[in-house]
Amino acid sequence: MDNNFNKNDNYYNGNNTTNNKVQQSVPNNYYTYNSQYNSYNYINEVSSPNNGKTRYGKIILSLIIIVLILVPIVILLTQKFAEIEDNANKKNRTFMIYMVGSDLESKSSQGTYSISEIVPANIDLRNNNIVLMVGGAKKWHNFVNPDEVAIYELTSNGFSKVKNDIELNMGEKNTLTEFLDYSYNNYPAKKYDLIFWNHGMGAFGLEHDEVAEDFININELDNAFKDSKFKNQKLELAIFYNCLTENIHIANVMSKYSEYMLGSEEIIYLSKLFNRLKFFERVKVNDTAVDIAKYFISISDAAIDNYNDTHIKGINSTLSLIDLSKIDKLNNNLDKFIATVDVSDNYYDIATIRRRLYTYGKNQNNDYDTIDLYALVEALGKYSSNNTALNDLKNSINDAVVINSSEDGYSYGISVYFPYYSGYEVINAHLIMFKKMWNNSSYVSFIKDFNDIRYNNYRNTRTITGKNTNELSNDITIKGNSIELKLDDKEKEKYQNANIYIFKKDSDNDYELLLKSNKLTNNKGTIKFNYNGLLKVNDEYISYYDLDDSIVYGNLSNNEEDLNVLFTIHFDANLGKIVETILDSGSNPLSSIIELDDYNKITLSKIKYNYFDQESISEEWKNNYKRENIEYSKDKLDIRLEKDTLRDCYIMIEMVDLDNDSYYSKMLYVE
């Protein structure tokens, strides 16, 4: 019925001319349907057909114009009101925490400590969502089930589980994508922020899952965001609660997906004393990313200051905030500048510069190889003929770094990968990934060219000698407490640094390491080491590493846990005291500070080597060792440097050249 009515209605309305002609011979009141409309048309048509059509057209045109004006306005207002209503239903911020526990949690409870810092009663949950994805550790010390990866939301009663999966690997990019999308879909907000929590691996990646033995490299990091909802909606702030992550390479990735990033150039230490996640308690509705970064950094700096006041061994902060909108310009200026520096003509000068620049994380592992970008640019400036390119680059670094917490004098807020100390395989893995991601980068070509020269030199030397390791030309001599070795002219020219090793042979003919030290001087080609004694604990020799810090390897245990650790020793005269204990995380950065009071058993290690060829010392000797642990009472540790004679000791000096190749002296036996 409705359809027929509509058809008839359309028929009559579409045939007004016919109706009007009929109406000339029929009384007006005969047509009750739309009679006024028809009468109006009849009168105008009889008196002046052309004028009627013109007026009718003008009316239609006016109506069309009004509609064309009003419709977009109505649509715009409708969208605006919908947006206002939508925003009214959204919270101000959603904070997403991607916490991969790894050994930081399983061995030293650091994930548990960080989660405990998030106290709902002190946080504005009316305006903020806090969503936590957690897993990747073999053991947890709180409510987390180690057999699953789960997502929790923070409620007024604490964290409540909303999703879980036993199959997920937090070192895999798809897991990160899933978390990002889940948070976006289920916790709508005006602004989004992401916190990464775990180990950082410099320019290579982060978030090591110890269950799956996997981590997210920076190419996977890029793809995780690219496949997520945040491909088109940027985070406001990405906080990297990881070591060694504040570098230009991670910034290159994150500049596509976030407005700002906060991280650390150096190791960012974890401890139950460093309650950095309490920054949530300070967040207010009108805060910007810069405000939030200031909260995080100020809490961290205050905790570090307090730690340094109560501990003999202090630590430094290298946290900084980067404005990621400035990264493209920085990259362009870096490529312009570095293209003016000739690697082949200045190789050994550049190698010397690289050796002298502070390398982050090197006292723990050689693989990270990151240095401060501004410090590098400043040092390379004299090898460029383009001062404009140099100054533009320095200015763009300063523009990009919004906040820099460091007071060490060599950390300006953003680091860069410059391979030098790590092995060929590690360097090659970085370069393959960099070329894949930034094939046209002049900087990537620069570091590749540098290392091609270095490894060609290295391989040529090996080929010429026909041995696995080069031998130094002269023998060691001892003069009182001074151990010396003279370099020949070629060795002088290529000298980078040196190490000394002192061993004793045990009953199994293993070489027990008593001391490794890098505190040698080079005076006009004479390497000299001032011998101050060997480390004894309760009259027992212990392997002692007198490097940037005085380190002893060992173990801590209680009824629940057994940890491999590094003890830092501080000496007052010849008497030593343990002043810091760090979890030994293997190839990952050593960032977890352990409290001795939490453990009741302590062991210290002897390191023994069983591979030496007296005729030609091979590099393989460094990889053939075993540990012998000796248990002590924590309260009865007599640590001292004993200035025994070197009788029955074996002494060897290692010279490392500018190509990072090792040369060894003959082993000197002291009778």
- E strands, 186-313, are 189-197, 205-209, 214-217, 235-241, 258-264
DSSP lists the bridge partners of residue 527 as: 485, 522
- Checking if the pLDDT of 16 tops 50, the result is no
Contact 574, 544 (CB under 8 A): no
Assess contact for 172 and 212: CB atoms under 8 A.
Answer: yes
Q: Are residues 238 and 386 in the same domain?
A: no
Average pLDDT in the chain: 87
Distances (CA, A) of 633 to 456, 537, 538, 604: 52, 11, 10, 11
Q: DSSP label at 592?
A: B
Residue 240, beta-bridge partner list: 196
**Domain ranges, residue 34:** 14-84
CATH code, domain carrying 253: 3.40.50.11970
SS3 113: helix
Residue 241 pLDDT > 80, yes or no?
Answer: yes
Q: Mean pLDDT lowest for which of 104-113, 411-420, 621-630?
A: 621-630
- What is the number of other CB atoms lying within 10 angstroms of the CB of residue 86? 12
- The contacts found for 470-475 with CB under 8 angstroms, 24 or more apart, are 470/661, 470/662, 470/663, 470/664, 471/616, 471/617, 471/663, 471/664, 471/665, 471/666, 472/653, 472/655, 472/663, 472/664, 472/665, 472/666, 474/665, 475/665, 475/666, 475/668
Check pLDDT > 60 for residue 59.
yes
- pLDDT range class, residue 117, cuts 50, 70, 90: very high
Q: Is the pLDDT of residue 465 over 70?
A: no
Do both 200 and 302 map to the same domain? yes
Average of per-residue pLDDT across 478-484: 92
Q: Give a yes or no: residue 539 inside a domain.
A: yes
Residue 2 domain-assigned (yes or no): no
Lowest-confidence segment of 49-63, 428-442, 624-638 by average pLDDT: 49-63
Residues 6+ apart with CB under 8 A from 476: 483, 484, 485, 651, 652, 653, 665, 666, 668
Distance CA 79, CA 346 (A): 62
In this predicted structure, the answer to whether residue 37 has a pLDDT above a threshold of 80 is: no
CB atoms within 10 A of CB 75: 10
Query: Is pLDDT above 90 for 79?
Result: no
* pLDDT for 407 beyond 80: yes
Amino acid at 333: N
Residue 77 has pLDDT above 90, yes or no: no
- Does position 38 have pLDDT exceeding 80, yes or no? no
Give the C-alpha separation, 465 to 667, whole Å.
19
Whole-angstrom Cα distance, residue 253 to residue 275? 28
Structural domains of the chain, count = 4
Domain boundary among 33, 54, 84: 84
Measured CA distances, 33 to 8, 10, 39, 266 (Å): 12, 13, 11, 87
235 close to 259: Cβ distance less than 8 angstroms: yes
Are the CB atoms for 418 and 371 separated by under 8 Å?
yes
Output the pLDDT for position 26: 36
Lowest mean pLDDT across 32-46, 135-149, 259-273, 452-466 = 32-46
Average pLDDT over residues 292-307: 96
Q: Is residue 431 part of a domain?
A: yes
pLDDT for 36 beyond 60: no
Cβ 343 vs Cβ 448: under 8 Å: no
Same domain, 251 and 400: no
Q: Which amino acid is at 554?
A: G
The tokens describing 176, both together, are 């990160």
Phi, psi for 475 (deg, rounded to 5): -95, 160
Residue 508: count of CB within 10 angstroms of its CB? 8
SS3 call for 258: strand
Distance set, CA 216 to CA 250, 401, 591 (Å): 12, 25, 19
123 pLDDT band, cuts 50/70/90, is very high
- pLDDT, one tens digit per residue, over 494-506 is 899 999 999 999 8
Residue 613 has pLDDT above 70, yes or no: no
Mark whether 415 and 275 lie in a shared domain.
Answer: no
Instruction: Please give the residue that has the higher pLDDT: either 63 or 375.
Output: 375
Residues 122 and 26 in one domain: no
Do 560 and 461 belong together in one domain?
no
387 in the same domain as 344: yes
Whole-number CA gyration radius for the chain: 36
Q: Which residues pair with 27 in a beta bridge?
A: none
- DSSP string covering 546-578: ESSSEEEEEEEE-SS-EEEEEEEEEEETTEEEE
- 400 and 493 fall within a common domain: no
Close Cβ partners of 247 (under 8 Å, ≥ 6 residues apart): 202, 203, 265, 370, 414, 415, 416, 417
Asked whether residue 279 falls in the same domain as residue 159, the answer is: yes
> Is residue 41, in this structure, part of any structural domain at all?
yes
CB contact at 8 A, 436 and 219: yes
228 pLDDT more than 60: yes
How large is the average pLDDT for residues 47-67?
Answer: 66
Helices in 245-288 by DSSP H: which ranges? 248-254
347/442 same-domain check: yes
pLDDT at 633: 86
∠ CA(534), CA(535), CA(536), 5° rounding?
120
pLDDT at residue 53, rounded to an integer? 58
* Mean pLDDT, range 599-625, rounded to an integer: 80
Tell me the pLDDT tens digit for each residue of 510-545: 999 999 999 999 999 999 999 999 999 998 999 999
- Residue 22: band (very low, low, confident or very high) from pLDDT cuts 50, 70, 90: very low
Confidence band for 215, pLDDT divided at 50, 70 and 90: very high
> Half-sphere exposure of 441 toward its Cβ, with a 13 Å CA cutoff?
22
Residue 177 lies in a domain: yes
- Quote the percentage of the chain above a pLDDT of 70: 86
| Residue that finishes a domain, picked among 271, 299, 325 | 325
Give residue 20's pLDDT band: very low, low, confident or very high (50, 70, 90).
very low
Report for 48-57, 368-377, 475-484, 560-569: range of highest mean pLDDT: 368-377
What is residue 12's predicted lDDT score, i.e. its pLDDT? 34
Q: Which two tokens stand for residue 347?
A: 């190789």
Q: What is the pLDDT of residue 346?
A: 95
| Residue where one domain finishes, among candidates 308, 325, 342 | 325
Give yes or no for residue 455 having a pLDDT over 70.
yes
Query: Cα separation of 29 and 494, whole Å?
Result: 116
Supply the pLDDT for residue 480. 85
Predicted confidence at residue 167, as pLDDT, reads: 87
Q: Which of 246, 172, 174, 232 is nearest to 203 (CA)?
A: 246
Confidence of residue 630 (pLDDT cuts 50, 70, 90): very high
Kindly state the average pLDDT of the residues 186-203: 97
Q: pTM for the complete prediction? A: 0.84
Report the 10 Å Cβ neighbour count for 599.
20
Percent of the chain with pLDDT over 90: 69
Cβ atoms of 132 and 221 within 8 Å: the answer is: no
Q: Answer whether residue 4 is part of any domain.
A: no
**Pair (491, 367) in one structural domain:** no
Contacts 24+ apart (CB under 8 A), 337-342: 337/377, 337/384, 337/386, 337/389, 337/390, 337/392, 337/393, 338/380, 338/442, 338/443, 338/446, 339/442, 339/446, 340/384, 340/385, 340/386, 340/389, 341/380, 341/383, 341/384, 341/446, 342/383
Q: What is d(CA 299, CA 306) in angstroms, rounded to the nearest whole number?
A: 11
Do 187 and 297 belong together in one domain? Answer: yes
Nearest to 338 by CA among 457, 253, 450: 450
Does residue 5 form part of some domain? no
The whole-number pLDDT of residue 54 equals 63
Residue 7 maps to a domain:
no
- 4: pLDDT strictly greater than 80: no
Q: What crossing angle do the helices spanning 373-380 and 387-400 adopt, rounded to 10°?
A: 170
Judged against a pLDDT cut of 50, whether residue 575 lies above it is answered with: yes
